[in-house]
Structure 1
Amino acid sequence: MRFVVSSTELLRHLNAISRVISNKNTLPILDNFLFQLEGNTLTVTASDLETTLITTLSLENTEGDGNIAIPAKIVIDTLKEFPEQPLTFNINMDTMAVEILSENGKFSIVGQNGTDFPQLPELGDGATSLNMPHDVLLSGINKTLFATADDELRPVMNGIYIELSEDDLTFVASDAHKLVRYKRSDARADVQSSFILPKKPASLLKNLLPREDFDVKLAFDDKNAFFSLTGFKVVCRLVEGNYPAYNSVIPVNNPNKLTVDRVEFYNTLKRVSVFSNQASNLVKLALTSAEMVVSAQDVDFAISAVERIKCQYEGQEMEIGFKSTFLLEILSNLSSTEVQVELSDPTRAGILLPAEKEIEEEDVLMLLMPMMINA
């Protein structure tokens, strides 16, 4: 088996799929890339059993077919040191010896039999498939990924819940303290369905999608999902279980409405939160019609900070407490100039919304649970 490939092109593809390889693989074969040559198409696969990334390259100069597992680290470390040039891979399928021939040298590696590499799962009969706009999928992941949990006891919270319907597409993530719901009315499915996308494949898609120009082909059943992009395929095992009824925790009647400049609010919080208690990160917001007073203190170290911000506020004067780290995360993941905060009372969740929409068809809602001020 033999093929000639551009060093930089191969490195770009391998870098993209190498992110899936775990440092603690249970099977030694998973420390390798699976190279499969069929005609003029080279397919390279990387996997950690739960998630598999596949990339394809079209080559002009090839000879023979076959598959071989080649150590991932040594291939990438070698390719990084080459300037752009054609490399010839000579592979002896009997001895699994791999020779990489460059303009001036020869590099020898020993591979493993490719048949030992785990097989891809197959979708069941009741699988759902659709084309999803790449920008919608990227926005949905970008807006929700930060709010996923790391909860071993409730694995369903450790992923993004994607809900498909004939009217819209909804992405939801929550860690029980904060919740994000991102809806897009310009993307729909023919059938009502849903699945929970784990955090790792979501992060991998987040890195691959900015380079994508076409719709993503999505196919999934109750166990696995296949995302087909241009030149890449992401296959992952889905989180099994039922996602909590997220709509029931979103307060409906919120008469108190605050509108404030997002960047000013963010910068004030950054300064004031330095003075909050390190264990609780509590900041207090005191709201009146024309201004908001942001304060924090750490009694143990006798430090405190107070800062005023101009705002528009309609409703009862109130004081409410939030964990500053969560509030900062939410504000940094909203992209509008002004942010609208809807509140019912100091004991119920606050809803944060962009004051103006970037995209007409999107609906972004972020929710944050308050903290007891006198705790």
Structure 2
Amino acid sequence: VATDGHRLVCYNRSDYKANEYTGDIIVPRKFLNLLSGVLEGKESIQLWMGANHVTASLGSDMYFSRIIDERFPDFESVIPKDNDKELTVDKNQLLSAVRRVSIFSNRSTHQIAIRLTKDRIQITTEDPEKSSKAQEEIKGNFNGDDLVIGYNASYLKDILSHVEGDQVVIKLKTPISAALFYPATQNENSNLTMLLMPIRLND
């Protein structure tokens, strides 16, 4: 699990073995970035958890990191359980549209608005400071009442770019509630949930 207060990612895997270890640890982001760079194409990795350090073994290479002695936020209470509106859309089409529209968004807020109807998604932005605005429309499948919700385009692009597969499923509740993002098809031994907080739209 990782979060910055605006976004949250929860990734679960079941295809691993542990020697009776149970518990939670917090590790620095730099350590995970380092491992992600050397793990590509590798089949397995071994991890050892100590009192103050974590060790990763990959072949003949060993990587060490300190454990952060802090309490992680109660992320399970943040993930909504009652998002009853569901949008299914082509991930690449949505990501491309957000990228193009966001070029004209405010440089500070990166604010965009997404209007959802039964089979259409309209993405708009307007920046009075630069007298610029943009609008795009793509197809989608939305099973709720019409909804307009605002997002930081940079955060939204980041989440969409990490969704595997061609389709993304987005579960929503209200314009001020957190949205949940999932791949349309989850892998057999893993499960990915991403959360994004909306922003209030300017009148």
* TM-score, normalised by the number of residues in structure 2: 0.95
3-state SS of the aligned residue for 1:339?
strand
- SS of equivalent to 1:212: coil
Aligned residue number for residue 363 of structure 1: 191
Q: How big is the shift at 1:210?
A: 2.2
Counterpart position of 1:229: 58
CA–CA distance in structure 1, aligned partners of residues 100 and 29 of structure 2: 31
Indicate yes or no: 2:185 matched with 1:344. Answer: no
Of Structure 1 and Structure 2, the greater helix share is in: 1
Measure the CA separation in 1 of the matches of 2:127 and 2:22.
Answer: 50
Query: In the comparison of the two structures, how many residue pairs are matched?
Result: 202
Deviations 1:73-119 (A, max 9, x none): xxxxxxxxxxxxxxxxxxxxxxxxxxxxxxxxxxxxxxxxxxxxxxx
Identity %: 32
Partner of 1:191: 21
Q: Deviations for 1:331-355, whole angstroms, at most 9, x for unmatched residues?
A: 0111110101100100111111111
Aligned match of 2:71 in 242, 258, 282? 242
1:269 alignment partner, one of 85, 98, 101: 98
What displacement does 1:231 show? 1.5
Separation of aligned partners in 2, 1:250 and 1:295: 27
The 5 A counterparts of 1:14-163 are none
The answer to whether structure 1 residue 308 and structure 2 residue 99 are counterparts is no
1:354 to 2:183 alignment = yes
Shift of 1:216: 2.2
1:195–1:222 Cα contact (<8 Å) kept: no
The aligned residue for residue 290 of structure 1 is 119
Q: Distance in 2 between matches of 1:254 and 1:211?
A: 36
Is the contact made by 1:296 and 1:304 (CA closer than 8 Å) also made in structure 2? yes
Hey, what does 2:146 align to over in structure 1?
317
Distance 2:185 2:139 in 1: 19
Whole-angstrom distance in 1 between the partners of 2:46 and 2:90:
39
Question: Compared with structure 1, are the counterparts of its residues 312 and 211 closer, same or farther at alpha carbon in structure 2 (3 Å cutoff)?
Answer: closer
Deviations 1:264-284 (A, max 9, x none): 000000110011111100010
Q: For residue 194 of structure 1, give the secondary structure of its aligned residue in structure 2.
A: coil
Matched residue of 1:278: which SS?
coil
- SS of the residue corresponding to residue 197 of structure 1 reads coil
Measured in 2, the distance between the counterparts of 1:328 and 1:286 equals 17
Aligned-residue offset at 1:188 = 4.7
Larger RCO (alpha carbons 8 Å, 6+ apart): 2
| Matched-pair contact (CA < 8 Å) for 1:212–1:230 | no
Q: Does 1:180 align with 2:9?
A: yes
3-state SS in 2 of match to 1:327: helix
Query: Any stretches of 5+ residues in structure 1 without a counterpart?
Result: 1-171
Q: Give the Cα separation in 2 of the matches to 1:175 and 1:182.
A: 15
Structure 1, residues 235-262: CA drift from partner, whole Å, max 9, x if none? 1111111111101111110111100100
> Which aligned pairs between 1:204-215 and structure 2 lie closer than 5 A?
204-210=34-40, 212-213=42-43, 215=44
Which of 235-244 and 184-193 deviates more? 184-193
For normalisation by structure 1, the TM-score amounts to: 0.52
CA contact (8 A) 1:341 1:353 kept: yes
Matches within 5 A, 1:248-263: 248-263=77-92
**RMSD of the alignment, in Å?**
1.3
Q: How far apart in 2 are the matches of 1:263 and 1:280? A: 23
